[in-house]
Amino acid sequence: MIQRWPTSREEKWKYTSLGALSQKTFAPSAPVALDFYPHDWGISFVFVNGFFNADLSDLHLLPKEVVALSLSQALKTHADLICLYGSREFDINQYPFAASNTASLSDGLFLYVPKQCVIESPIHLTFYSTEQNDFMSCPRNIIVADTESEITLIEDYRANFDVTGYFTNAVTELTTKHCAKIHYVKIQDEHRTATHFSHVFVNQSAGSHVDTFFVDKGASLSRSELVVHLSEPDAVCDMKGLVFLEHAGQQVDHQVVADHAAPGCSSRMVYKGVLKTQSTSVFNGKVLVRPIASETVSHQESHYLMLSPHAEVNTQPQLEIYADNVKCTHGATIGSLAQEAYFYLRSRGMDAADASAMLMHAFVSDVLSAVSDPAMREYLLMRIDHVEH
């Protein structure tokens, strides 16, 4: 399959120019020996420049029955399972960068959670970039939660301060079988000179539950495509996203699709962004309700705060509906801080910075408060406030 380089004439690439990226060349990433990496909590898998590093990882909390291997290892020992679950439901050629990931994938995690296995500790995948400049890494994660199992997964992209200009092109596939649950968090805190592209494909069976939470604060250009396929009845998907742009010239592009292909499913998207500098945020959310998907309930929201006169927000909240017994809504707002609220805080003696910080916290707090696990909420808050680069 020959892929064309997407241009801004294509609907999905209307607001993201690949002009600069197409001029660059990237070297393949090479494994780097690293002695120490502080893991935050839970079960930890550490990937350095795209390659799994067993020494830095901590798997002692992982139940024995779970299959957790680096993809390169799993391809040797569990090829049958990978064939069974790897991107069966998605026409990957529709996504040029996912196809490119397939063509040049480096490593990643293969995780198979067997039936009724509930893992309490979060599984934390860290993709750490260091020591090499202008490289490209293509991690691929295949996660399968079998019937009635439950996991929490954090996919975390970070970088050392001295590494520049690299390109991460990641693909993650989540499969939930009957009544399984995946709580998925993705934190994109790449170096501010990096380019980060990611695809997350979710395929949900009957009665399964997936919630996704995307935090974007790093990279000069970041684009995430989240494609959720609700392929059997009564599946539930809850998608949330927070974007914080503090560096001039940053751009974050979210493409989210909820594809209702079975009756009685529900989906919910809530994306919020704060643009503090001359930066650009794109949100393209689409709810597709196929003719068979009656009794669909879908709700979509996007809200952006523009705090810089040079910020730019482009949103496209789309509904495409072919069934009649449905309830679908969407809402979008774009604006700056409410002047009345700001004035109220200032008149109570708060200084300008504190007042706007407080209002920003209030703006994002409802998305954060939807995270049910208090420890996870704390952790996210800490990561959002923490400035790494």
Q: Which CB atom, from 142 or from 326, has the smaller least distance to another protein?
A: 326
Q: How far is the CB of 328 from another protein (least distance, A)?
A: 4
Residues 316-335, interacting with another protein (CB under 8 A)? 316-335
Binder among 306, 345, 359, 380 for another protein (CB under 8 A): 306
Subset of residues 14 to 53 that bind another protein, contact rule: CB under 8 A: 15
Say whether 202 sits in a helix, a strand or coil. Answer: strand
* CA dihedral sign of residues 99, 285, 326, 202: positive
Q: In a 3-state reduction of DSSP, which class is residue 314?
A: strand
Q: How far apart are CA 71 and CA 74, in angstroms?
A: 5
Residue 279 Cβ vs another protein, minimum distance, rounded to whole Å: 11
| Cβ nearer to another protein, comparing 28 with 335 | 335
CA angle 196/197/202 to nearest 5° reads 130
Among 99, 307, 357, 360, which residue interacts with another protein (rule: CB under 8 A)? 307
| Cβ closest to another protein, residue 124 vs residue 276 | 276
Binders of another protein among residues 265 to 294 (CB under 8 A) are 275, 291, 294
Residue type, 57: S
Give bridge partners of residue 255 from the DSSP assignment: 225, 284
In whole angstroms, give the CA distance from residue 382 to residue 366. 16
58 is a contact residue toward another protein (CB under 8 A): no
What minimum distance in Å lies between the beta carbon of 377 and another protein? 29
Query: Distance (Å, rounded) from C-alpha 226 to C-alpha 364?
Result: 21
Q: Given candidates 89, 134, 246, 312, which one binds another protein under the rule CB under 8 A?
A: 312
User: What Cα–Cα distance (Å) separates residue 323 from each residue in 132, 258, 329?
Assistant: 51, 15, 14
Interacting span for another protein (CB under 8 A) from 153-161, 218-226, 229-237, 311-319:
311-319
Q: How many residues bind another protein (CB under 8 A)?
A: 37
Beta bridge partners of residue 125, listed in sequence order: 45, 155
Q: Is 358 helix (H, G, I), strand (E, B) or coil?
A: helix
Residues lying near another protein in the complex (CB under 8 A) are found at 11, 15, 275, 291, 294, 304, 306-336
